[in-house]
């Protein structure tokens, strides 16, 4: 297990590393702006494997299993702009305030992350400056540009959750995550509940808070945009068939939501 320490902050991403931002359908005309904070599980080459065996780096602790395929396909179906982040949340979690202890976790579920132990301040800042900041600045810029162009913007943050966490089985197939927006989440919940085969979580298995989340509070709530997160259970989208089915299902649901929002003149 190769493990390299922080060192010079400016070189966290080398020529062999990809940029943190992945985008799809940048000229999409949909009012829905899709984000995906835990899309990828890459690690900058300079950080080695964070001291973890390969098996840990493909588990849910490293990323949101299955959501990348759903996000790309949903973006295509809806003609919606997707902004996603390619590096593992074990490097830096793009849905945590940088000051939160879980931003660069020293432990995730029951796994200790050796490469995150005892990080010097410049090593922490390097991760923020090279991954977290560009991703969130870009979301900001895209929202600015859409607002300037008079384009309606509804923020939808895509995630997936593990079927069992800390020994507890989670019964939901899908959940909504929200806090302050009272417009989009009830619509989304009611349409998801209209799907006869689904057990739907209302702010389950997670709820949004300013302390534990970043994307919805900062880009959605603080800017007054309608917003919701969606969590899909990972075993349902572990393969391409499941990802396609869920992308089609969500595309149908968001098309209905768009129709309703247009009737209410909210977009
Ligand atoms: Zn996530």
- 79 Cα: distance to centroid of ligand 1 (angstroms): 22
- 228 Cα: distance to centroid of ligand 1 (angstroms): 13
Q: Count the neighbouring beta carbons within 10 Å of the beta carbon of residue 144.
A: 11
- 129 Cα: distance to centroid of ligand 1 (angstroms): 20
- 17 Cα: distance to centroid of ligand 1 (angstroms): 22
- Digit-coded pLDDT (tens) for 71-119: 999 999 999 999 999 999 999 999 999 999 999 999 998 899 999 999 9
Q: Count the neighbouring beta carbons within 10 Å of the beta carbon of residue 240.
A: 11
- 265 Cα: distance to centroid of ligand 1 (angstroms): 31
- Digit-coded pLDDT (tens) for 10-49: 579 999 999 999 999 999 999 999 999 999 999 999 999 9
- 213 Cα: distance to centroid of ligand 1 (angstroms): 10
- 252 Cα: distance to centroid of ligand 1 (angstroms): 22
- 173 Cα: distance to centroid of ligand 1 (angstroms): 15
Cα gap 263→154, rounded to integer Å: 15
Angle between helix 240-263 and helix 67-78 axes, rounded to 10 deg: 40
Q: Count the neighbouring beta carbons within 10 Å of the beta carbon of residue 149.
A: 8
Q: Could you list which residues have their CB under 5 Å from ion ligand 1?
A: 38, 64, 159
Q: Would the pLDDT of 62 be above 80?
A: yes
- 246 Cα: distance to centroid of ligand 1 (angstroms): 16
- 38 Cα: distance to centroid of ligand 1 (angstroms): 5
- 200 Cα: distance to centroid of ligand 1 (angstroms): 17
- Digit-coded pLDDT (tens) for 193-228: 999 999 999 999 989 999 999 999 999 999 999 999
Cα gap 115→23, rounded to integer Å: 28
Q: Which of 41, 93, 95 lies closest to 63 in space, CA to CA?
A: 41
This prediction has a pTM of: 0.95
- 254 Cα: distance to centroid of ligand 1 (angstroms): 20
Continuous segment of H or E residues that includes residue 185:
helix 184-193
Asked if residue 78 lies in contact with residue 12, where contact means CB atoms within 8 angstroms, the answer is no
pLDDT of residue 10: 59
Question: What's the chain's Rg over C-alpha atoms?
Answer: 18
- 55 Cα: distance to centroid of ligand 1 (angstroms): 19
């Amino acid at each position: 297990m190769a493990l390299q320490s922080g060192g010079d902050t400016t070189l966290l991403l080398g020529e062999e590393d990809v940029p943190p931002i992945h985008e799809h359908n940048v000229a999409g005309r949909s009012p829905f702006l899709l984000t995906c904070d835990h899309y990828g599980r890459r690690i900058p080459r300079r950080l080695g494997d964070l001291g973890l065996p390969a098996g840990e780096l493909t588990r849910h602790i490293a990323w949101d299993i299955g959501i990348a395929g759903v996000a790309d396909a949903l973006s295509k179906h809806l003609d919606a702009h997707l902004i996603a982040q390619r590096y593992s949340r074990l490097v830096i979690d793009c849905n945590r305030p940088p000051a939160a202890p879980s931003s660069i976790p020293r432990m995730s579920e029951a796994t200790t992350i050796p490469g995150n132990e005892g990080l010097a301040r410049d090593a922490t800042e390097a991760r923020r400056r090279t991954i977290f900041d560009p991703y969130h600045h870009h979301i900001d810029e895209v929202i600015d540009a859409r607002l300037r162009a008079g384009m309606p913007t509804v923020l939808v943050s895509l995630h997936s959750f593990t079927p069992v966490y800390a020994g507890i089985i989670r019964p939901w197939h899908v959940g909504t995550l929200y806090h302050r927006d009272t417009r989009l989440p009830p619509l989304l919940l009611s349409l998801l509940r209209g799907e006869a085969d689904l057990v739907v979580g209302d702010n389950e298995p997670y709820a949004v808070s300013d302390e534990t989340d970043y994307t919805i509070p900062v880009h959605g709530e603080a800017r007054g945009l309608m917003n919701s997160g969606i969590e899909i259970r990972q075993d349902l989208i572990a393969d391409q068939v499941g990802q396609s089915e869920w992308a089609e299902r969500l595309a149908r649901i968001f098309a209905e939501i768009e129709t309703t929002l247009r009737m209410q003149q909210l977009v």
